[in-house]
Structure 1
Amino acid sequence: MLLSVRNICTTLSLLWLMACSSSVEQQAAKKNESAALEVVQWPIIYNDKREQLSLEYLDKRYGIKAEKAHITPKMVVVHWTAIPTLKASFNAFNSPMLPSARSKISSASQLNVSAHYLIDRDGTIYQLLPNTTFARHVIGLNHSAIGIENVGNGSTLPLTSEQLKANIALIKQLSEEFPIDYVIGHYEYKNFANHPLWKEVNPNYLTTKTDPGETFINQIRASLTNLNLKKVPDLPQ
C-alpha cells in the first residue's frame, strides 16, 4: 500500500511538473510573439500645416472634401526608403513641407511624403503616424492605404530577413484592427488605376516605382495566406 501511495505521489508530481513546464513554454511563446510586435512610437511633425496640406491633397487630387485628414484603411503598401540610415529616413518624412529636392512631385502638392511606419534594418518597428491619419506615400490610394517604409534600397542595401519578419508581424496585427483587403508593393500601385479604390484625378500623374522588390512582397504575402487577401488587379492595358 505504501509503495502504491508513493507511486501515485510520484505520478502526480510528474504531471504537475509537466503542466508547469507547458505553462512556462506557452508564456514564453506569448512573450516572444509580443516582443516581435513591439512598436516604438516616434511621431513625425503633424501640425496645422500638415493637416491643411493633407486636406488640400484629398480635395484636389481625389475630389474628397473632409473636415479631418483621416483614412479608412483597406490596404497596406510596402516601400523601401532608398535612404541608407534610420535617422536620415525619419528626417526625410519629418517636415510637413516637401523639400525642394522633390521638384518632380511638387506640382501635385507641397505636402511632404511620409508613411505610418518605418522599419529599421534590424527589424525594429517605429510608428510615425496614427493608423487612420492621412499620409502621402502612394499615388491614387493614400485615402485607403497604410504605408510601411523599410530602411534600404534593394541593391546596395537589400532589405533584411529581420525586416521581412517585422513586416509580416505588423501586417498581421493591422489586419486584426482593420479590414485589410490588399497588401501590395509600391511598384504595384498602377495596377489599381481602374479599380474602385483609385482616386487620383489626373491620369497622367504617375511615377515608376520598383520598391520593395517582387521577391520581398511575394514573401510577405506567402506568409499571410490565412488573411484571405484579395488578388492584386492586373495592370490596365
Structure 2
Amino acid sequence: MHIQKQPLPYESKLSGRELAQIELLVIHCTELPDLTMARHYGEVIHYSSGTGNSGHYYIDRDGSVQEWVKPNKIAHHVKGHNQQSIGIELVNSGRFPNWHDSNQQSPEETYPDALIDSLIKLINYLQAAIPSLKHIAGHEDLDQTKIAATDNPQLQIRRKIDPGPLFPWDLVMKNIRLINIGSNAQKYE
C-alpha cells in the first residue's frame, strides 16, 4: 500500500505511545471541500503544547493516502478517545460550509469507490501492522455532543455527524476484520 508521508509541522510535539495501546480506528470525514483546505485546518494550533486537531491518515477522493501523524503519536481527532485510537479522515464536503445550520444536517456527497477501496486497504494494512487494533467506529458514535444551531439557537443539533449517513458501512465491514462498536454495530455481529 502506498502511503505518502506528509507530517504536520507539529507532529514531533504530539505525545508518544506504544502501538500496543491502539485498539480503535475512528472514521471521520473532513467536512471540507478538498485536501488542501483540510491541511490548512490541520496545521492550525489550538493547544498550548503547540499542536492542533488532525487525524493520522487522510484519504482523498482519488484514493490517494497521506499520513500526517505517525500511529505512535497521539493525534487530537476525537475527544476522550485519542490515547487508544487512530483517526482516518476521508475528504468529503459533509455539511460544509454551514456545519451547524439546522437546515444543513443532511450531507449530499457520496464517497467515491476509489476512496473506499483505499480505506479498506488502509484498514487491513493497519490491522496487520498493529495486532492490538480490534475496533472501529464513526466519529458520530463517539462524540454525540449537541449544540445550538447557528440559524436557530432554540434548536439543538449534533456537533459531529461524520462520516455521516452516506458512508457505506456495509461494504467496509464486509471487507475488514474489525468489530464495529458504533451505532451500526448490531448489523455486523
TM-score calculated relative to the size of structure 1? 0.58
Query: Which residue is equivalent to 2:26?
Result: 77
Residues 185 and 217 in structure 1, CA contact (< 8 A), matched pair in contact too:
no
- Aligned residue for 1:118, secondary structure, equals strand
Query: Which residue is equivalent to 1:131?
Result: 71
Q: Deviations over 1:142-200 (max 9, x none)?
A: 00111111111343533211111111100000000112111111111158xxxxxxxxx
Q: Distance in 2 between matches of 1:86 and 1:135?
A: 18
Query: Which residue is equivalent to 1:184?
Result: 137
Q: Distance in 2 between matches of 1:69 and 1:125?
A: 22
Query: Which residue is equivalent to 1:213?
Result: 164
Query: Which residue is equivalent to 1:91?
Result: 40
Q: Deviations over 1:28-80 (max 9, x none)?
A: xxxxxxxxx211111111266xx2xx5xxxxxxxxxxxxx4336211111111
Structure 2 matches for 1:190-209, cutoff 5 A? Answer: 190=143, 208-209=159-160
Match of 2:52 among 89, 112, 120: 112
Residues 185 and 214 in structure 1, CA contact (< 8 A), matched pair in contact too:
no
5+ residue gaps, structure 1: 1-36, 55-67, 99-105, 192-206
- Specify which structure has the higher proportion of helix: 1
1:44 aligns with 2:13: no
Residues 184 and 217 in structure 1, CA contact (< 8 A), matched pair in contact too:
no
Query: Which residue is equivalent to 2:80?
Result: 140
Displaced runs of 4 or more, over 4 A: none
1:231 to 1:156, Cα distance in 2 relative to 1, 3 A: closer
CA RMSD of aligned residues (A): 2.6
- Aligned residue for 1:216, secondary structure, equals coil
- Aligned residue for 2:87, secondary structure, equals strand
1:147 to 1:171, Cα distance in 2 relative to 1, 3 A: same
1:149 aligns with 2:89: yes
- Aligned residue for 2:66, secondary structure, equals strand
TM-score calculated relative to the size of structure 2? 0.71
Q: Distance in 2 between matches of 1:182 and 1:74?
A: 6
- Specify which structure has the higher proportion of strand: 2
1:110 to 1:172, Cα distance in 2 relative to 1, 3 A: same
Residues 131 and 146 in structure 1, CA contact (< 8 A), matched pair in contact too:
yes
1:171 to 1:177, Cα distance in 2 relative to 1, 3 A: same
- Tell me the matched-pair count: 154
Whose Rg is larger? Answer: 1
Residues 10 and 50 in structure 2, CA contact (< 8 A), matched pair in contact too:
no
Residues 183 and 221 in structure 1, CA contact (< 8 A), matched pair in contact too:
no
Residues 76 and 182 in structure 1, CA contact (< 8 A), matched pair in contact too:
yes
Q: Distance in 1 between matches of 2:114 and 2:160?
A: 23
